Amino acid sequence: MDESNNIILVTGGNRGIGLETVKLLSANLGNTVVSTFNSTEPKDDVFNSANVVALKCDVTDGNQLDSLFANVKENFGQILNVVCCAGITKDQLILRHKDEDFKKVIDSNLNSAYMTVRRAIPAMIKSRFGRIVFVSSVVGFMGSPGQVSYSASKSAMLGMARSIAREVSNRNITANVIAPGAIDTDMLRSAGEKRIDDMKSLIPLGRIGQPAEVAEVISFLVSSKGSYVNGALISVDGGLSMGY
């Protein structure tokens, strides 16, 4: 596969880990990076770059995803690299957690990733090349009080990635899962200073991670350097999840 003309889709690339991933991947001018957003239009300077495109899309809506893929194919080429970053959380203890909130988290975090990748797979198979990265969370494998829906949506990504890998790896398609720990994003900051301090005390490195540190691992996986990494779960968490 010629890496000089990569079309890379990053869902939820308007903030946090997704935004840093867009920045890093777009630094290679051979990449065309397509970033989705839904409610918050991206304002970062990177979206003024010639090789970065921001497209509004509710990735839980199959019709909107169909339009997105058709638009990108017509104007830029086939999407052969997918990074699924889009996600939400609606934290609540299970006794108070509403059924509709659980469904919304599963739709936003897990179902959207499945639907996005399913639409990308045919072109990958035809091209005999593809890179898929699911952005999960250590919470998906450690668990956390009040995060039943979020944990469920993130842990399921591993089974999905490994099943996809077993189905299509003979076409030079890889599927991997990144599990970030406590990363300095809006989602983490919404937890409050006390919760963040409590997390720091559990992290062997003793600090919160930066979105760019996660983006570096994602960049590795979609590059030729990561071509033999497949079906992997890679924690980027400062050692938080050791033993799990």
The catalytically annotated residue of 114, 150, 228, 244 is 150
Three-state secondary structure call for residue 151 = helix
Question: How far is the C-alpha of 114 from the C-alpha of 161, rounded, in Å?
Answer: 9
Query: Are 116 and 157 contacting, i.e. CB atoms less than 8 angstroms apart?
Result: no
Give the CB-side neighbour count of residue 39, counting CA atoms within 13 A.
Answer: 5
150 has catalytic annotation: yes
Three-state secondary structure call for residue 53 = strand
Three-state secondary structure call for residue 155 = helix
> Which residues on adjacent β-strands are paired with residue 50?
none
Nearest to 153 by CA among 123, 177, 186, 127: 177
Tell me which residues are annotated as active site. Answer: 150
